[in-house]
Amino acid sequence: MVFRILLPLIALVLIGIVVMLERNGIQLEGFTPGVVQDYTYTEPVEDDIRCLLLVDHAQSAGKEVTEQMTNVLRSMKVNYDVFEAGEFSFAQSLDSYDHLIISFPDWEVLGDSVRDIIYWVRDGGSLMNTITPEPGATLHMISQQMGVEGGFNDFTGISGICVQDQRMVGSTTKPLYELSKDPSEKMDISLQAQLSEACEVYLSSEDGSVPLLWHVPYGEGHIVVTNMALTEKYMRGFLSLAYSLMEEACLYPVINSSVYYLDDFPSPVPEGDGEFIRRDYGIDIASFYSNVWWATILNWEEKYGIRHTGVIIEDYNDLVKGPFPKNESTSQFKAFGNMLLNNRGELGFHGYNHMPLILEGKDEGKRIGAYVMWPSKEEMERSLEELSRFSHAVFPNAEFAVYVPPSNIFSETGREAIKEAVPEIRAIASFYVTHTNAHGQGTEYEQEFGVAEDGIIEMPRIVYGTYINHYDSLMAMSELNFHFVQSHFFHPDDTLDVDRYADQGWAKMSEAFEQYLDWITTDATAIREQTASEMANAVQLYDHISLKRSSDGSSVSADLGGFAGEAWFLLRMRDREPGNTVGCTLEQVANGLYLVCATQEHIEIGYQ
């Protein structure tokens, strides 16, 4: 009885101690931010080659989407052969494959071979295409088998992609993804088509009138039709969906990580006033950052369970030649940085100053605005050494494993300087998609998720800012389904920059961003909220994993290679329900889509 009364009291005292420790900036045990693991991996394994990717180099329209498709196949760890359509002998060789991907729009090059493809599907093959086929005699020979009952002659305009029946992650609260800024703008990228009852439509146009991606059985086999001519990186989520529908149960590796970066944080707080801050709050920038902005960040951490990774700028000078003066005003760095660390966040490097690591005489094409270029790699190194000295002095218990290039601009020389001067940096986090400048060149460093040959872990950020536009929504949704990953950044000084919607005021900016946070946390509940170094670990595990899959009609199984004790997968099931599992656990993330956590080298998932 006494114990029952004491228990809540003890709990209260314990909470009090934890709060006190946090306030004093003492690290809590059981959590070590900034540590990138060196895993030991098992031997890699390899799937048999069962997939044929058919290309036609004469058709430039298929080139870009083929690049996206090959990236999808590599990421899904699918072994495949590539052949030129005009050079492949269908009658003799098609039988050695289970999956055929047609990756060009004009099917006339197939000629009479399309009959061989029809027979092959009827006997159990699975066919998909990557881009809207052009109407023509050859296409019409197979359109009935593709489930088309009428139309398939004329292109029609669509303005958005609508996910049917919550079949993709993200589509429960947001089924519609617009293709351009102006929702009334239509793109002629799809064929009008009336489909048979047997078709299962996964994607349609904004109003449902045009089917954009569907599955239809034919004989013993299956056909998945893509009716969109889109080549952006965001097509990867849809192409991986199409590929997965060729199988009854399709298992592919993912990262399972969600990271939120605060760029330029901590950094010297600007003195004086910001126009819109003064307008809305009547205070200067420094008071706004600590009383309003930071309060919002903390509120998001609590409300959404997210954790922040801040990347440090020591000084906003424009020196590119030493000596690099030390920033002696560390109190704000300490205050903000320790609060972030104590909320299970993490710190990384952004720069001694904000001059991107690009070399004079070499990287002029990457320069934007008033940035000064570096005269040598040695000067870059000296500035990084000062940043490292400063960061370790201010945060003696922290580890710094992640580097974010200023303005996402980076160079080969910068990379070498990082490796030389701050070998503690294990991962680089730049951009997933470059934004082209006025000359049509991408200035930013564009990355793919993975481990580079020099051992650096590449982990791009996918979206940024407080207002997530139509394009970034598509990209974010695609990556949730392709890599099961989310990565976002913004800056405290977004509130000072009209180009980043500062004139809207922080209240509206934060409200806009909450829509994104609401969407991610409601629709991707299973995703892990992580810091950058934890994502770096997840990317390593993902990069190394390999699979040897098999399926017998009632279960899918895989032997894992490159395994280090944990691996994540998405499992797409076509009209099936998962049952017993061996060596893994399973959680539903969308209609027909499951997140799989493997804890053993052999996994099995039964299904009905």
Query: Judged by CB, which is closer to Zn ion: 450, or 492?
Result: 492
Task: Pick the stretch among 2-10, 255-263, 568-576, 598-606 that binds Zn ion (CB under 5 A).
Answer: 255-263
Query: Judged by CB, which is closer to Zn ion: 247, or 263?
Result: 263
* Smallest separation, CB 62 to Zn ion (Å): 38
Query: Judged by CB, which is closer to Zn ion: 94, or 312?
Result: 312
Query: Judged by CB, which is closer to Zn ion: 106, or 264?
Result: 264
Residues numbered 403-462 forming contacts with Zn ion, rule: CB under 5 A: 406
Count of all residues that appear for the chain in the document? 608
* Smallest separation, CB 490 to Zn ion (Å): 10
* Smallest separation, CB 198 to Zn ion (Å): 53
Measure the CA–CA gap between 267 and 273, rounded to whole angstroms: 17
* Smallest separation, CB 408 to Zn ion (Å): 8
Query: Judged by CB, which is closer to Zn ion: 406, or 450?
Result: 406
Task: Pick the stretch among 38-46, 221-229, 263-271, 384-392 that binds Zn ion (CB under 5 A).
Answer: 263-271
* Smallest separation, CB 493 to Zn ion (Å): 8
**CA proximity to 169, closest of 576, 572, 575, 586:** 572
Query: Judged by CB, which is closer to Zn ion: 399, or 494?
Result: 494
Q: Kindly state the number of chain residues that form the binding site for Zn ion, as judged by CB under 5 A.
A: 3
Strand partners, 343: none
Query: Judged by CB, which is closer to Zn ion: 34, or 406?
Result: 406
Residues numbered 367-406 forming contacts with Zn ion, rule: CB under 5 A: 406
Judged by CB under 5 A, the residue of 264, 493, 494, 543 near Zn ion is: 264
* Smallest separation, CB 473 to Zn ion (Å): 23
**CA proximity to 267, closest of 330, 201, 225:** 330
Q: How many CB atoms lie within 10 A of CB 580?
A: 10
Does residue 263 belong to the site contacting Zn ion (CB under 5 A)? yes
Task: Specify the amino acid at residue 580.
Answer: N
Write the CA distances from 519 to 116, 180, 477, 480, integer angstroms. Answer: 46, 20, 10, 12
* Smallest separation, CB 397 to Zn ion (Å): 24
Residues numbered 214-253 forming contacts with Zn ion, rule: CB under 5 A: none
* Smallest separation, CB 351 to Zn ion (Å): 8
Pair of tokens at residue 565: 């004790």
Measure the CA–CA gap between 300 and 510, rounded to whole angstroms: 10
Residues numbered 283-342 forming contacts with Zn ion, rule: CB under 5 A: none
* Smallest separation, CB 257 to Zn ion (Å): 22
Query: Judged by CB, which is closer to Zn ion: 350, or 415?
Result: 350
Query: Judged by CB, which is closer to Zn ion: 274, or 406?
Result: 406
**String of contacts with Zn ion for each residue 483-502, x by CB under 5 A:** --------------------
Task: Pick the stretch among 113-121, 229-237, 258-266, 591-599 that binds Zn ion (CB under 5 A).
Answer: 258-266
Query: Judged by CB, which is closer to Zn ion: 48, or 318?
Result: 318
Helix (H, G, I), strand (E, B) or coil at 419: helix
Q: What is the four-CA torsion angle of 307, 311, 313, 319, rounded to 10 degrees?
A: -160
* Smallest separation, CB 489 to Zn ion (Å): 9
* Smallest separation, CB 494 to Zn ion (Å): 11
Task: Specify the amino acid at residue 339.
Answer: M
Query: Judged by CB, which is closer to Zn ion: 263, or 381?
Result: 263
**CA proximity to 352, closest of 420, 267, 467, 416:** 267
CB 414 within 8 A of CB 380: yes
**CA proximity to 163, closest of 469, 588, 477:** 477
Task: Pick the stretch among 60-68, 256-264, 319-327, 435-443 that binds Zn ion (CB under 5 A).
Answer: 256-264
The region that residue 440 occupies, defined by phi over 0 for left and psi between -120 and 50 for alpha, beta otherwise, is: left
Query: Judged by CB, which is closer to Zn ion: 135, or 406?
Result: 406
Give the sign of the dihedral formed by CA 62, CA 68, CA 73, CA 79.
positive
Residues numbered 64-93 forming contacts with Zn ion, rule: CB under 5 A: none
H-assigned helices in 248-314? 275-281, 285-288, 294-304
* Smallest separation, CB 265 to Zn ion (Å): 9
Q: Residue 568, exposed/middle/buried by CB under 10 A (0-12, 13-18, 19+)? A: buried
Pair of tokens at residue 331: 């109190």
Task: Pick the stretch among 237-245, 259-267, 361-369, 550-558 that binds Zn ion (CB under 5 A).
Answer: 259-267
CB 570 within 8 A of CB 589: yes
Sequential DSSP letters for 473-484:
HHHHHHHHHHT-
Measure the CA–CA gap between 63 and 69, rounded to whole angstroms: 10
* Smallest separation, CB 500 to Zn ion (Å): 12
Query: Judged by CB, which is closer to Zn ion: 118, or 262?
Result: 262
Biggest CA–CA distance in the chain, Å, is 87
Sequential DSSP letters for 340-383:
HHHTT-EEEEEESSS--S-BTTT-GGG--TTPPPBS-HHHHHHH
Pair of tokens at residue 69: 């498709």
Q: How many CB atoms lie within 10 A of CB 262?
A: 22
Side-by-side strand order, sheet with 463-464: 450-451, 457-458, 427-428, 402-403, 346-351, 308-313, 257-262, 485-490, 463-464
Query: Judged by CB, which is closer to Zn ion: 158, or 358?
Result: 358
* Smallest separation, CB 259 to Zn ion (Å): 16
Query: Judged by CB, which is closer to Zn ion: 33, or 406?
Result: 406
Task: Pick the stretch among 96-104, 239-247, 260-268, 269-277 that binds Zn ion (CB under 5 A).
Answer: 260-268
CB 167 within 8 A of CB 202: yes
* Smallest separation, CB 352 to Zn ion (Å): 12
Interacting residues with Zn ion (CB under 5 A): 263-264, 406
